Structure 1
Amino acid sequence: MTYPHRRSSAASEDDFFDIPDEPCLAVVKRQLRHIRTWVFFGLFILFILWLRREPPKPPALPHIRYDLVDWSRYAYTQYATSSAYLCNAIMVFEALHRLGSRAERVLFYPEEWDTLVESPVDRDSQLLQMAEEKYNVQIMPIDVQMIKAGSGSAESWDKSISKFLAFGETQYERVIHLDSDITVLQNMDELFFLPPAQVAMPRAYWSLPKTKQLSSLMIVIQPSSREYNALMDAAKPAMHGQVDTSHAENRYDMELLNDRYGDSALVLPHRQYGLITGEFRSKDHKFFLANEYEQWDPDKVLSEAKFVHFSDWPLPKPWVMWPHEQLAEIQPKCDYKPGTPEESGCRDREVWKKLYDDFRRRRKNVCKLLSFPAPEYPPKENPDEPKERSEQVPS
């Protein structure tokens, strides 16, 4: 057997490293035949791609540690000056309870009512007891004789000045007052931690572009004795019967709140905190969407809203049954061939009807009350509504 020549250890260093020259291309071709070269190349490419990746968005960091909040400093308030609105208020508290709100709850009610259930039909007393025992509501009797009475079971405009009582709840750092003719859809506790402002309210978008009025459907309040006294002083004409508060044009809560806070209030986005049912009846949504390019999507709109307010004049409120003739006239129209057997694109109508049906179902389940009979039709002309977009003015 012949062995290859081996250099001796005595060979010079230059001779030891005297390697024949080889073209670079040949070296590359030889290296490419090795699997490890491709593995290294692949890892190198992956490393470059990893460096060039778009950094992931940081996870949402809650700026508020909800578990550490002293919730006794915050409250939702409602007032009830009639049996119908008492049930509405209980329904709001039930929804807040079901949706996991942690803030306290306060209900103002006429001092002549009591919580003593004297008979099975004493529903007001039963509901007050339910509010206390089931939904942890603090019930607070108030003198409402100074405010003109409403118009019974079918009233649409309750004694709205009573909501000013929330401004006097100075034991709380912040209070949220909601109108009771609403359906609460989502938890709203985040509003307690808005930047400091005497009040925060959504815009009455249905009055745009004519006016930029604030809506009192929702008011986030920093209670203050000074503000409470100022508002109650301004409301004295209504307290003494000098103003008819049963009509929308004289709805003093909105008027006085806009006079005092119109230029200083923190404005809440109306998509989340000011949706009204009348929007589903409209075919022009530019004031709600606030742009000309966005497509109206009733399901998306409802999914974004924290609550929806029932406002479909001349249709009565949801605790009053619909007159059939009126319903056929007022309900949302389909997009294609409305009123014919071939009509389609009726999602607005479906969402709208579901909101009313859901309110009545919950009213029956929560309050054990049925809806009132429908009023006479056609209704009298509503003199308090502006002519522009009158179908959407909250009532």
Structure 2
Amino acid sequence: MAVRKPPILPYRRGSDASEADFFDIPDEPCWAIVKRQLRHLKQLRTWLALFALTILTLFLRREKPPPPPLPHIDFDRVDWSRYAYSQYATSSPYLCNALIVFDTLQRLGSRAQRVLFYPENWDVLVDDTRDRDSQLLTMAQEKYNALLVPIDVQMVKAGSGPNESWDKSISKLLAFGETEFDRVIHIDSDVSVLQNMDELFFLPHTQVAMPRAYWNLPEKKQLSSLLIVLEPSFKEWYALMDSARAIEYGQVEANVSSRYKYDMELMNERYGDTAMVLPHRQYGLVSGEFRRDEHRAFLGNEYEEWDPEKALAEAKLVHFSDWPLPKPWVMWPQELIADMLPKCKVKPGTPHESGCKDREIWKKLYDDFRRRRRDICKLLSYPAPNWPPRDKNSPAEAEAAEGAPVAPQVATPATPVEIPA
């Protein structure tokens, strides 16, 4: 029987060819060993490569999160005593409106100061439970920490005749004299504030920033004074007041088509070519936009489709402007409202109408304002004026035709209030 020879083992580095050196590395190039092992992993590498490619594709196609608001500003470290919102009140309705604005700013978490200009012949001494003006001034001071500034109401003549009414809207320009603040935001009080606007205090340096009166585009490029971001300056205040007095004394002519335009005209004459223009979608939306059929001026193009919910979601505030309808603290004349309501898109005026989102938003804006007026100021809306308006034979009738009646209805806290639809 033949004897089987033992196998010849490869020579092992650093050994004497003994089988005891089994774990020694064979005398074989390392790179050859690596290549031999990688051949066994060829299929695994393919799967790893596909997995990595998939992860990379998903990463690149992911929806990027929106940038944080003003990441360069730490709002918690801001000295808010240097910034303020201002309101002015020259009548009882506008005093309530100012408090509604302050209440909304407080609810939205704004930490800026609040300034309220009011006629110097008013006072904060409450004589009785129906002394609503004094009550509201006290509320502005105690509840909303407003700085009350009594003023000698500035007025500009509305026409050349001695019986013409006088406009008081340029009182908002008094905010230019509040030099204890670095920046002031003045908002017209006939608005609904929808979102916090504190970011406007940190715009780049500019004397004035205002939105465009987009409803006049493209025929007329004009700034709207419904919101003014300004840097207080006595120089600017004196210049604006001098311009106002020139109109008052008939030294220059004013382009007057309504009794509330003087401040807008003055601001455009001085800052029309130098003001920073704020985007009107956020800072200049008017309620009348929801009644329009054509939205090209608001959208700024011809390809974008009007979406009322999107427009409202983007807006920081809405200004009530629906002439000839009166302002929201005056009820709608029944003879007019049917014609003024926003129309539905599909089969309007029929029992099967639909696409009425514009109408729903528009009515809700007015309803919310009236409810806040009731809840905050304990005031009802004024009765609807006669329609069509009578001849303005008396100051009271003239005021009523302009949507500013002379005597408010007061609702005491203990009396339930129903707001007419």
TM-score of the superposition, structure 1-length normalised?
A: 0.83
Counterpart of 2:291?
Answer: 281
* Counterpart contact for 2:167–2:259, Cα < 8 Å: no
Aligned pair 1:348/2:358, yes or no?
yes
Aligned in 2, Cα 1:297/1:381: closer, same or farther, shift over 3 Å?
farther
Quote the residue 1:43 is aligned against. 48
Equivalence for 2:400: none
Offset of residue 42 of structure 1: 3.3
Q: Does residue 125 in structure 1 map to residue 134 in structure 2?
A: yes
Post-superposition Cα deviations, 1:288-347, rounded to whole Å, max 9, x if no partner, equal 000111111101000000000000011110000111121101110111221122211111
**Aligned counterparts of 1:133 and 1:95: Cα–Cα separation in 2:** 16
- Structure 1 residue aligned with 2:9: 7
* Corresponding residue of 2:219: 210
Aligned equivalent of 1:321: 331
Alignment of 1:138-157 (within 5 A): 138-144=147-153, 146=155
Aligned residue among 247, 261, 267 for 2:277: 267
Tell me the residue number matched to 2:240: 231
> Structure 1 residue 6: deviation in Å?
3.9
130 and 249 in structure 1: CA distance in 2 versus 1, 3 angstrom threshold? closer
Q: Which runs of 5+ in 1 are unaligned?
A: 19-26, 150-155, 383-394
Correspondence list, 1:1-395, <5 A: 5-7=7-9, 31=40, 38-48=43-53, 53-54=59-60, 60=68, 62-144=71-153, 146=155, 159-237=168-246, 239=248, 248=258, 251-379=261-389
CA shift for structure 1 position 251? 1.8
State the secondary structure of the residue aligned to 2:143.
Answer: helix
Q: Which stretch of structure 1 is more off in the superposition, 137-146 or 92-101?
A: 137-146
Q: Distance in 2 between matches of 1:113 and 1:320?
A: 23
SS of 1:228 mapped into structure 2? helix
> Structure 2, unaligned stretches of length 5 or more?
18-25, 29-35, 159-164, 393-403, 405-421
Alpha-carbon RMSD across the aligned residues, in angstroms, is: 3.4
State the one-letter code of the partner of 1:270: H
1:55 is displaced (CA, Å) by 9.0
Change (3 A) 1:237 1:6: same
Quick check: 1:203–1:269 contact (8 Å CA) kept in 2? yes
- Runs of 4+ displaced beyond 3 Å: 1-4, 8-11, 27-30, 37-53, 55-61, 145-149, 237-247, 379-382
Structure 1 letter corresponding to 2:47 = G
Looking at CA atoms only, which structure, 1 or 2, has the larger radius of gyration?
2
Aligned to 1:387: none
Q: Contact 1:81–1:158 (CA<8 Å) still a contact in 2?
A: no
- 3-state SS, counterpart of residue 218 of structure 2: coil
Matched-pair contact (CA < 8 Å) for 1:147–1:241:
no
Take 2:245 and 2:332, find their aligned partners in 1: how far apart are those partners?
Answer: 36
Using CA pairs below 8 Å that are at least 6 residues apart, which structure has the higher relative contact order? 1
Q: Which moved more, 1:333-342 or 1:169-178?
A: 333-342
SS of residue in 2 equivalent to 1:138: strand
Residues matched between the structures, number: 365
Question: Contact 1:146 / 1:240 at 8 angstroms: preserved in 2?
Answer: no
Q: Deviations over 1:259-294 (max 9, x none)?
A: 100000000000000000000000100000001111
Q: TM-score by structure 2 length?
A: 0.79
The whole-number CA distance in structure 2 between the counterparts of 1:182 and 1:194 is 22
Identity over aligned residues, as a percent?
Answer: 64
Contact 2:156 / 2:167 at 8 angstroms: preserved in 1? Answer: no
Offset of 1:244 from its aligned partner?
A: 9.5
Name the CA shift for 1:157/1:182 in 2 (closer, same or farther; >3 Å).
farther
